[in-house]
Structure 1
Amino acid sequence: MRGEAAVLSIFHELRDVTLLSVALRMLLASLCGGVIGIEREYKRRPAGFRTHILICLGAAITTLTSQYLYMYMGYDTDISRLGAQVVAGIGFIGAGTIIVTRRQRVKGLTTAAGLWTTAIVGLAIGSGFYEGGLFATILVMIAELVFSKLEYRILNHAPEINLYMEYTDSQCLDQVLVLFRDLAVKVRNMEITRSTGSERHNACAIFTLALNKKHTVESVLNSVLMVEGVISVEEL
């Protein structure tokens, strides 16, 4: 009775491995994977629309194959073994989306986590757990669309940030330090790399700054960028 209360009755007839249920599971896996992937595609991430569809569909057919081998072929095997390999193996694909820039900034973690979750959604739908797959897809979209805005607001009001700045000469660096003092921004740490003398290699500096409540990260970035001699500035 407890198990019956946890699932929707409209899916009862589709939990057996039939031609209709197989078609529905594969179609639903493609749809859920596409919904998650289209958001990544819109933000031009390494793994986008088609990648998420293929991963979710592949995970679904993996679970279906396990069920088929156990229920119809009579193989005395652990039907969860193939699914467990998907959970472990998807890490290799996810790792390929994570990059570390030359400024030691890590990108792609959200995409990698999304790929892993998409694989789990595929496993759930492939096993006939439609409710879990659909609810997980909805929650993933909420996390990527709604919570991302909340995360941006939190980061924009962070009490301490790291800035990477490229500049032309020492006079420019002195002006930036004066700017920080005028803004009441404390410089907790500073690393400087001098110019090599080549036009292709500008001097750079990395600041660890303690902000006050009057200034946001974006306002500090804009102020630094306005200083004469500053070539570029960004948050690490």
Structure 2
Amino acid sequence: MNMEVLQAINEYLHTFSIPVVLIRLLLATICGGVIGFFRSMKKRGAGFKTHILVCLGATLIMMTGEYVFRFVSNGTGDVARMAAQVVSGVGFLGAGTIMVTGRNQIKGLTTAAGLWACSGIGLAIGIGFYSGAIICTAIVFFVYNYLQKIDEFAYEHSRVYDLYVEFESRKYITPFMSAMKERGFKFLSLELSKSKKNKDDIVNATMSLEVSTKSKGVDVHTFIEELEGVNSVEEM
């Protein structure tokens, strides 16, 4: 296939005809589906259908902006105005996937970021920036599939622990903190709250601990569980 044929295909794909509109919407379905399918495999809240719809919607809105620019305003409008609304609007959709659990654990940030990227892919397809959309889809898919191992490696070798600890009573908190400091743990944050259980004496604590060289090699969970007054400990 020579350069003249490729140039002709490229020019055709940047026209605004029904076949080209169909190609853009189908490409948006494929790109959004590729990203969303992996999220569905991970049983995330925003999965296959959600990513497709976000990418499709962004593509249609971008094409609508181009349509207004070409045929309604006769080239005097701003084709990017509707796209800007998509970028800000998807933020609200992404916020709906982010949850803060009762133990102050944040979930859904990666899904929200993926939706935001998916909307950008849809906008790129809608305006005819096919190469950018396809490359971005491949990179997002690579990030979801393979960079998670790097994230897990960093998590396993981190010196910081985010913990949820349940105490029998508030009186055990001060001895607990003293024992932790003596063993070489540094408190980065500590938040106490009353238990929702029927027992009024039970106190919950969410904390961040940094492991020093003095406490290196210590099983943090075992050490805390053996302290007096600790009912349970979980890593967040």
Q: TM-score normalized by structure 2?
A: 0.78
Could you tell me whether the CA contact under 8 Å between 2:58 and 2:126 is conserved in 1? yes
Name the stretch that deviates more: 187-196 or 75-84: 187-196
Rounded Cα–Cα distance in structure 2 between residues aligned with 1:54 and 1:194: 42
Q: Which residue of 2 aligns with 1:37?
A: 36
Q: 1:221 to 1:41 in 2, by over 3 A?
A: farther
Could you tell me whether the CA contact under 8 Å between 1:37 and 1:47 is conserved in 2? yes
Rounded Cα–Cα distance in structure 2 between residues aligned with 1:196 and 1:60: 47
Alignment of 1:107-186 (within 5 A): 107-168=107-168, 185-186=184-185
Rounded Cα–Cα distance in structure 2 between residues aligned with 1:185 and 1:209: 10
Q: 1:208 to 1:59 in 2, by over 3 A?
A: closer
Q: Which residue of 2 aligns with 1:64?
A: 63
Rounded Cα–Cα distance in structure 1 between residues aligned with 2:196 and 2:130: 60
Deviations along 1:123-174, whole A, 9 cap, x unmatched?
A: 1011111100001111111222222221121122112223111244689989
Could you tell me whether the CA contact under 8 Å between 1:172 and 1:230 is conserved in 2? no
Could you tell me whether the CA contact under 8 Å between 2:104 and 2:206 is conserved in 1? no
Could you tell me whether the CA contact under 8 Å between 2:186 and 2:212 is conserved in 1? no
Q: 1:200 to 1:27 in 2, by over 3 A?
A: farther
SS across alignment from 2:44: coil
Counterpart code for 2:48: F
1:233 aligns with 2:234: yes
Could you tell me whether the CA contact under 8 Å between 2:168 and 2:201 is conserved in 1? no
Name the stretch that deviates more: 145-154 or 71-80: 71-80
Name the stretch that deviates more: 184-193 or 77-86: 184-193
Q: 1:215 to 1:60 in 2, by over 3 A?
A: farther
Unmatched 5+ stretches in structure 1: none
Q: 1:69 to 1:170 in 2, by over 3 A?
A: closer
Name the stretch that deviates more: 89-98 or 222-231: 222-231
Name the stretch that deviates more: 222-231 or 56-65: 222-231
- The two structures, once aligned, show a CA RMSD in angstroms of 3.4
| Shift, 1:21, TM fit | 1.3
Rounded Cα–Cα distance in structure 1 between residues aligned with 2:68 and 2:194: 65
Rounded Cα–Cα distance in structure 1 between residues aligned with 2:103 and 2:22: 47
Could you tell me whether the CA contact under 8 Å between 1:11 and 1:130 is conserved in 2? no
Could you tell me whether the CA contact under 8 Å between 1:26 and 1:61 is conserved in 2? yes
Q: Which residue of 2 aligns with 1:19?
A: 18
SS across alignment from 2:79: coil
Q: 1:223 to 1:79 in 2, by over 3 A?
A: same
Q: Which residue of 2 aligns with 1:85?
A: 85
Q: Which residue of 2 aligns with 1:53?
A: 52
Q: TM-score normalized by structure 1?
A: 0.78
SS across alignment from 1:146: helix
Could you tell me whether the CA contact under 8 Å between 2:24 and 2:128 is conserved in 1? yes
Rounded Cα–Cα distance in structure 1 between residues aligned with 2:139 and 2:34: 12
Rounded Cα–Cα distance in structure 2 between residues aligned with 1:131 and 1:225: 55
Unmatched 5+ stretches in structure 2: none
